[in-house]
Amino acid sequence: MKVRIQRIDGSARMPEMAHPGDSGFDLFASETVSLKPGERKLVPTGIKVSLPAGFEAQVRPKSGLALKHGISVLNTPGTIDSGYRGEIKVILVNLGEQEYKVEKGKKIAQIVFARVECPEIAEVSELDETKRNEGGFGSTGLG
């Protein structure tokens, strides 16, 4: 699979994989933004992507930002469909207790590329039964 990426901001950083074998590529802010506690903002990356049909990109939080500063991606995972050609922007939220400054060129999220299936949807009058059936929300116990 090849993902084509266009820089729309000349100083934008291309997504980077930190270690061989990682599932995600780091995304970087293309401008400096400050987030007060409880605040959310749309942070641009300065790039656009072209995904092949049958694939999506998922935007996910960075664990280090979440643990150290309480910074997360609000709609996680954010989905980028194969037909989308706009700039990738990340909805960051500050769940921490201190204001956080997102510096231009710094990591803000990660992007994971995944295959997606397009199943045929069939309406039926009944579903097959399973041992679990409708059990959910703690049905297996919490201990």
Residue carrying structure tokens 């231009």: 104
Question: What is the pLDDT at residue 81?
Answer: 97
Residue 63 within a domain: yes
In the chain, what percentage of residues exceed pLDDT 70?
99
**Residue from 82, 111, 116, 115 nearest 23 by CA:** 111
Residue 121 within a domain: no
Band (pLDDT 50/70/90 cuts) for residue 132 is: confident
Instruction: Give the CATH number for residue 71.
Output: 2.70.40.10
- Of the chain, the end-to-end C-alpha distance in Å amounts to 42
Residue 139 within a domain: no
Q: The pTM is what? A: 0.88
Instruction: Report how many domains make up the chain.
Output: 1
Q: Please give the average per-residue pLDDT across 116-130, as a whole number.
A: 94
Residue 137 has pLDDT above 90, yes or no: no
Residue 122 within a domain: no
Give the tens place of pLDDT for each residue, 22-76.
999 999 999 999 999 999 999 999 999 999 999 999 999 999 999 999 999 999 9
- Sign of the CA dihedral with 111 first, then 12, 82, and 19 last: negative
Question: What is the pLDDT at residue 29?
Answer: 98
**Across all residues in the chain, what is the average pLDDT?**
95
Residue 124 within a domain: no
Residue 20 within a domain: yes
Residue 136 has pLDDT above 90, yes or no: no
Asked if residues 61 and 109 have their Cβ atoms less than 8 Å apart, the reply is yes
Domain interval for residue 66: 4-115
In the chain, what percentage of residues exceed pLDDT 90?
88
